[in-house]
Chain A
Amino acid sequence: DSGVTQTPKHLITATGQRVTLRCSPRSGDLSVYWYQQSLDQGLQFLIQYYNGEERAKGNILERFSAQQFPDLHSELNLSSLELGDSALYFCASSVLAAGPGGGNYGYTFGSGTRLTVV
């Protein structure tokens, strides 16, 4: 157990629907990062939050949004889902106020949410 908890682990939904992915960072970590991994590809950075505020934005679609709550858990909302949104969605956390590069302490990743859009 890495200490970063993502729920649900699997999600199957239809095109046009909206889903919410949840991430609880490792205890003491203030930064949360969201990544998308499409089939057999590397990770694409989506967005980072630090202590409740958006810190950096990557290749995140306008249909997607995220937030970090006062208890530091984060949610990624995906709406008007398309077949191409099927992917593994990872959350990672780090203790420092590092940018999406994670600083010299790197990240701790959750186990991911596998989203299948049918």
Chain B
Amino acid sequence: GIQVEQSPPDLILQEGANSTLRCNFSDSVNNLQWFHQNPWGQLINLFYIPSGTKQNGRLSATTVATERYSLLYISSSQTTDSGVYFCAVGWDSNYQLIWGAGTKLIIKP
């Protein structure tokens, strides 16, 4: 089945720094989503981005479907950005999502 790899597995940054999280996938997908799980366990859908680029405030994401990767950018990091960022992919919107192992981000004040 499809494999999803996220890198780096862990990232520690100072407040105000920028970061780039990567998601590689092993097969063609037309459903890709980024999620944030905060330190209390709450999961929030950040982006639905099977291709192209989207921006939401300090966060943006780019997916290059032909090269099978997606990037999540976080600018001017804040301590509230801490948590685990998951990438999840699927073959289409009606198929189950396959989740990566996540990138654990710690933002220090």
User: Bound complex: CA of A108 vs CA of B88, how far in Å?
Assistant: 15
B interface residues, how many (CB within 8 angstroms): 23
Q: Which of B1-46 contact A (CB under 8 A)?
A: 4, 31, 33, 40-45
* Residues of B close to A42: CB separation below 8 A: 4, 86, 88, 99-102
* Number of A-B residue pairs at CB separation under 8 A: 72
**Which residues in A have some Cβ–Cβ distance to B below 8 Å?**
2, 41-45, 56, 58, 88, 90, 92, 98-109, 111-112, 114
The 9 closest A-B pairs by CB, nearest first: A99-B94, A42-B99, A106-B45, A109-B43, A100-B96, A101-B90, A45-B96, A103-B93, A101-B31
A-B contact pairs, 29 of them (CB 8 A): A2-B42, A41-B101, A42-B4, A42-B100, A42-B102, A43-B86, A43-B88, A44-B99, A45-B97, A56-B96, A98-B93, A98-B94, A99-B92, A99-B93, A99-B95, A99-B96, A100-B90, A100-B97, A101-B31, A101-B33, A101-B96, A102-B93, A105-B48, A107-B45, A109-B42, A109-B45, A111-B41, A112-B41, A112-B42
